[in-house]
Amino acid sequence: MGDFWVFGYGSLMWNPGFETLERQRASLFGLHRSFCIYSWVYRGTQKNPGLVLGLDKGGCCRGVALKAPGNKREEIVAYLRAREQVTSVYLECWRKVRLETGEGVPALVYRVDQNHEQYATSLSIEKQVEIISGAHGKSGPNTDYVESTVEHLRETGIHDHTMEQILAGLDQN
C-alpha cells in the first residue's frame, strides 16, 4: 500500500507517536478545532474532567498533514485507534485536506462524535479556562496540553485566535 496522510490539529502535531516521512501545513474544510471533548483519561478524569481538542462541525481547521509510510499502515492505524479511541469519542474518517502546496489529498482524520457523552458543546472561553486550569490526567496537566498546542501552532505559522484567548486566560490564573 502507498504512503498516506494523517491530519493533526492538536497533540498529533507535536507528538504523532509514529514515523513520518513529511509534514506540511494543511487545511481541512467543514470542521474546526475546538475544546469540545471532556477528557477522562489523558488530561482529566471522570470525576474531574479536562478538555481536549476535537474537530467539530463547521468552519475550517488549519493544522498539519503528516505523511506516514504505507508499509506501516496497519501498525500506525492500530496505534492511532488505541490512542484516539480509548473512550470512542472520536469518529475515524477520511477527509480531503489541502496541503500548503495546493494539492488536495485524502487524510485520516479523527473528529468528535457529537452524540458521545464526552461531547462538550457551547462552553464559553471563561468556562473552558476554568475546566482546563483545574484538570490533570494520565498525560499530565491539562494546561500543558494547551501550552504545547499553541506553541506548535505558532512554530508552524498558524494563528488560532481562540487557542490564544484560552492560553491568555490560563496565564491570568
Which residues, 6 or more positions from 2, have their beta carbon under 8 angstroms from its beta carbon? 70
Residue 67's domain comprises 4-172
- Into how many domains does the chain fold? 1
> Which DSSP string corresponds to 8-45?
ESSHHHH---S--SEEEEEEEEEEEEEEEEEESSSS--
Confidence of residue 38 (pLDDT cuts 50, 70, 90): very high
Is the whole model's pTM more than 0.85, yes or no? yes
| CATH number reported for the structural domain that contains residue 70 in this entry | 3.10.490.10
pLDDT in tens, 129-165: 999 999 999 999 999 999 999 999 999 999 999 999 9
Say if residue 97's pLDDT is above 90.
yes
Give the position of cell 462552553.
123
What average pLDDT does the structure give for the chain? 96
- Any idea which residues carry the catalytic annotation? 84
